[in-house]
């Protein structure tokens, strides 16, 4: 059956369609446009969202867990609960993200996450690949990643990860200054992995060498990065200025001050900025103790910490979009792009845009950006 979804506006998000209709059949978009030009087929079921806005489903490139479940230790039932939570906050596509752990634990997690990628849960957010964060990180900027679980980048270890994940590694965070990093970045890029620069104490020179080797993205800008200096801009200066890099940020007002989020958005612009959550299993759970991979973390309010250091977040992506609007004064249309098309494009995912033949993954928002409803492959989540 054809379902016609109507709303005051539709964000593709590359264009805005006023008084819009979106036609869906068998989980796919069949047509979209203004109601004055696109007739609703006879017999179609109509879902009218009145003054609300239809936008592509959100894409979270960096998430360790939510709703009490950690992606490295998750059961099938736990994954379904987490993916339902994500859908409730507008997310239809995500990259489950690892944290540095003992090698055998990482390999087991990659195998399980490959299963999650190959066996999506109906009517929920779906894993579109894996984000490998660690172990190729700087000891100087490792954050809460245990130093004993870090490793120098090597083709042999990357191959172990690749085989365990059955080729589903979509993104990998690497500190470019480490010996062997450029060789691994080049090899991973040839496999279709998006290499992201982060947890790094790199100079500008080392960062530029990594871009030449194939790196195209930056992980949680400002956090776990060499600070900006006016004589040695380092990795941060390069990330903010180099147009070859897209970059993401945790816009929760805790990891990065609101004024610095605004600076980031103005520097990278509406085309290259990406919003992520870096959420842990604590997201949606309130205060308490939770897991981040093998680590115990504690939540008080909006702060998720381990031994006094920030350890991921409790942010949701719908809140990040609203924060971008509030922190930088951006309108909904620009802010939505950061969590949809930009994110998908940064990770080379076929998601984040509404067009004929695309998956019917979309979110219905109020004009202020609050989630009304989420539709995953044509099903209301």
Q: What is the DSSP string of 336-358?
A: HHHTTHHHHHHTT-S-S---TTS
| Separation CA 340–CA 324 (nearest Å) | 14
Average pLDDT over residues 143-166: 97
Residues 201, 141: contact at Cβ < 8 Å?
A: yes
Q: Which of 362, 355, 353, 356 is nearest to 381 (CA)?
A: 362
- 287 included as an active-site residue: no
pTM: 0.97
What was the pLDDT predicted at 35? Answer: 94
What was the pLDDT predicted at 381? Answer: 85
So where are the chain's domains? Answer: 3-54+367-380, 57-352
Mean pLDDT of all residues belonging to the chain = 97
pLDDT band of 133, cuts 50, 70, 90: very high
β-pair type (130-133, 379-380): unpaired
Residue 354 has pLDDT above 90, yes or no: yes
What was the pLDDT predicted at 110? Answer: 98
Query: Each residue of 59-107: pLDDT tens digit?
Result: 999 999 999 999 999 899 999 999 999 999 999 999 999 999 999 999 9
Element spanning 170, H or E:
strand 169-174
Q: Which of 133, 121, 142, 141 is nearest to 161 (CA)?
A: 133
CATH of 57-352, one of 3.40.50.2000, 3.40.630.30, 3.30.460.80, 3.20.20.140: 3.20.20.140
What was the pLDDT predicted at 280? Answer: 97
Helix (H, G, I), strand (E, B) or coil at 67: coil
What was the pLDDT predicted at 204? Answer: 98
Residues 175, 136: contact at Cβ < 8 Å?
A: yes
Residue 36 has pLDDT above 90, yes or no: yes
Average pLDDT over residues 297-324: 96
| Separation CA 67–CA 85 (nearest Å) | 6
What was the pLDDT predicted at 60? Answer: 98
- 278, 318, 359, 361: the active-site residue: 278
Outline where the chain has alpha helix (H): 76-88, 103-118, 155-164, 181-190, 204-213, 234-241, 258-272, 317-328, 332-338, 341-346
Q: Which of 323, 304, 322 is nearest to 314 (CA)?
A: 304
pLDDT band of 38, cuts 50, 70, 90: very high
| Separation CA 40–CA 4 (nearest Å) | 7
Query: Each residue of 166-190: pLDDT tens digit?
Result: 999 999 999 999 999 999 999 999 9
Higher pLDDT, 122 or 352: 352
Residue 122 has pLDDT above 90, yes or no: no
Residue 111 has pLDDT above 90, yes or no: yes
Give the CA distances from residue 305 to residues 86, 142, 287, 342, in Å, rounded to whole numbers and listed in that order: 22, 14, 11, 29
Q: Which CATH superfamily is domain 3-54+367-380 in?
A: Urease, subunit C, domain 1 (2.30.40.10)
Q: Is 219 exposed, middle or buried (0-12, 13-18, 19+ CB in 10 A)?
A: buried
What was the pLDDT predicted at 231? Answer: 95
Residues 363, 22: contact at Cβ < 8 Å?
A: no
Query: Each residue of 224-239: pLDDT tens digit?
Result: 999 999 999 999 999 9
User: Which two structure tokens, joined as six digits, stand for 352?
Assistant: 């984040």
What was the pLDDT predicted at 119? Answer: 92
pLDDT band of 121, cuts 50, 70, 90: confident
């Amino acid at each position: 059956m054809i379902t016609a979804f109507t709303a005051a506006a539709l964000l593709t998000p590359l264009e805005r369609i006023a008084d819009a209709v979106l036609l869906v059949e068998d989980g796919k978009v069949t047509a979209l446009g203004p109601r004055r030009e696109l007739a609703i087929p006879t017999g179609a079921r109509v879902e009218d969202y009145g003054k609300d806005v239809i936008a592509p489903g959100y894409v979270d490139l960096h998430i360790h867990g939510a709703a009490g479940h950690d992606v490295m230790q998750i059961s099938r039932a736990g994954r379904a609960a987490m993916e339902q939570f994500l859908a409730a906050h507008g997310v239809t596509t995500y990259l489950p993200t690892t944290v540095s752990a003992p090698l055998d634990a990482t390999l087991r997690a990659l195998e399980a996450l490959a299963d999650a990628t190959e066996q999506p849960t109906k009517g929920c957010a779906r894993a579109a690949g894996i984000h490998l964060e660690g172990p190729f990180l700087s000891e100087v900027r490792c954050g809460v990643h245990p130093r004993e679980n870090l490793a120098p980048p090597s083709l042999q270890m990357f191959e172990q990860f690749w085989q365990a994940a059955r080729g589903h590694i979509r993104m990998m965070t690497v500190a470019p200054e480490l010996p062997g990093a450029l060789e691994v970045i080049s090899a991973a890029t040839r496999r279709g992995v998006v290499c992201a620069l982060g947890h790094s104490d790199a100079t500008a020179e080392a960062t530029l060498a990594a871009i030449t080797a194939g790196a195209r993205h930056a992980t949680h800008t400002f956090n776990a990065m060499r600070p900006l200096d006016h004589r040695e801009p380092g990795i941060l200066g390069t990330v903010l200025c180099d147009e070859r890099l897209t970059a993401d940020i945790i816009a929760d007002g805790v990891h990065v001050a609101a004024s610095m989020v605004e600076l980031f958005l103005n520097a990278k612009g509406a085309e290259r900025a990406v919003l992520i959550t870096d959420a842990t299993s604590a997201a949606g759970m309130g205060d308490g103790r939770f897991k981040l991979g093998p680590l115990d973390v504690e939540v008080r309010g909006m702060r998720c910490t381990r031994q006094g250091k920030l350890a991921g977040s409790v942010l949701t992506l719908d809140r990040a979009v609203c924060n971008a609007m509030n922190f930088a004064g951006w309108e909904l249309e620009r802010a939505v792009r950061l969590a949809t098309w930009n994110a998908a494009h940064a990770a080379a995912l076929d998601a984040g845009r509404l067009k004929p033949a695309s998956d019917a993954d979309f979110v219905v928002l109020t004009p202020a950006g609050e989630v009304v409803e989420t539709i995953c492959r044509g099903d209301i989540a």
